[in-house]
Amino acid sequence: MPNTAQGRYSASVDLLRRARTVIPGGVWGHNRMPSALDPDELPWFADCGRGARLRDVDGHWYVDYICGYGAIINGYARPEIDDAVRDQALRGSTLSQATAKTVELAELLVDLVDGMAWAAWGANGSDATWTALTMARAHTGRPHVAQVVNAYHGSHSWNGPADPGQGRPGQDTSLVHQVRWNDVAALDELFARHGDELAAFVVTPYHHPIPGDAEFATPEWRDALNTHCRRTGTLLVVDDVRAGFRLDLRGSHAAFGFHADLVCFSKGLGNGWPLSAVMGTEAIRKTSEQIFLAGTFWNSANSMAAALANLTLLRDEEGVKKMQHSGELLTSGLRRIAERNGVPMQVTGPVAMPSVTVRDDDQKWMRRFAVHMAAQGTLLHAGHNWALSTAHTPELVEETLTHAETAMARAQEDLGR
């Protein structure tokens, strides 16, 4: 690799060389991005996190807007959360029976989340969406499901286009129908043709493709979806894995007006401790009791303890308001700096988790921007939405905006603009 990597990221490069002999690609899963796109200019491996800052293995600190891909919502190593995990760990986490923590967490979630009567568990977001889909098919007795084009609902092969080269044969998606976001006519046609066959329509509370601009539902499209699902008995599954608890503790479906039958949470639920939840209405309780779904670590008491402490902090400290305030400072500042530098930047979506893109860019400009931001001490993903935590104070946002002023100018120079 070039000397630039050996200089600033020498420890990261050394780890990557070792990793490639024992791990496919050196880093498994989505954590290989965005470093894989710019391997000489971004860190591959992290060492630790504190609050809103992350340190890589070469000792560089960053204000982090990836936040573990949205998992960190109350800041890294928040003492109240990690102390709760330590206390539980002394008694054991994966025991032969469920613990009281499952009951306590379910009670708290039912108290917080609008319209939901019960909670079931998983370890990550793909567990949650797959569980909800299975429950919907069992409850309705129907095989077909629907989703929005370019929506991401996890890594299981039912989601996304068929691609045998990626291990996704056509039969895995043969019962999945797709419509475009905010296309009311296409939605009407889908339900006219398949409404009586659809077990579920799986939808995110707002559209956040990767990469791409975020887009809120129009009232007409949202209301049509709610109406069609009620009329045909199709369950409306809201995938709140990415946005859950950053926008509204009642669930993002409440904030955006979707009449959910099932809601999926993960990411911010445990502040980095692996856990997901599927919540449902009273009407689906009997089905959820009768079907068999299981995972060895789904009742992990450590993760339950983390989620209890995490949600309690978000509620008692008005965490959503904190992230909203800092997000407004960040997004307005980015727009202002972009205009000053002649960059056609678009900042879309909720301010606590904005999508930042540049018109007609194909990510080239955003990748250069991410590289220059990292060199100064701010970490972001060129294609994924950003994420704020309650630890992102206004002072840290101002630090980020200072970095952005320089990084935008340098990205413009790199691309000759």
Rounded distance between C-alpha atoms, residue 184 and residue 203, angstroms: 14
- Residue spans of the domains in the chain: they are 3-76+320-414, 79-316
Band (365; pLDDT cuts 50, 70, 90): very high
* Lowest-confidence pick of 6-20, 44-58, 310-324: 6-20
Q: What is the pLDDT of residues 111-150, one digit of tens each?
A: 999 999 999 999 999 999 999 999 999 999 999 999 999 9
Band (33; pLDDT cuts 50, 70, 90): confident
Q: pTM value?
A: 0.95
Neighbours of 74 (CB within 10 A): 26
In this predicted structure, what is the pLDDT of residue 6?
A: 53
Q: What is the pLDDT of residues 251-287, one digit of tens each?
A: 999 999 999 999 999 999 999 999 999 999 999 999 9
Distances from the Cα of 151 to the Cα of 96, 143, 408, angstroms: 37, 20, 29
Neighbours of 253 (CB within 10 A): 28
pLDDT cut 70: percent of the chain above it? 99
Band (5; pLDDT cuts 50, 70, 90): very low
Rounded distance between C-alpha atoms, residue 120 and residue 293, angstroms: 10
In this predicted structure, what is the pLDDT of residue 334?
A: 98
Q: Look over the chain and give the mean of its residue pLDDT values, rounded to a whole number.
A: 95
Rounded distance between C-alpha atoms, residue 261 and residue 280, angstroms: 6
79-316 placed in CATH 3.30.300.30: no
Q: What is the pLDDT of residues 175-190, one digit of tens each?
A: 999 999 999 999 999 9
Q: Is the peptide bond before 211 cis (omega within 30 degrees of 0)?
A: yes
Query: For residues 209 and 258, is the Cβ–Cβ distance under 8 A?
Result: no
Helix axes 319-340, 301-316, angle to 10 degrees: 70
Domain 3-76+320-414: assigned CATH number: 3.90.1150.10
Q: Map 193-232 to HEC letters.
A: HHCCCEEEEEECCCECCCCCCCECCCHHHHHHHHHHHHHH
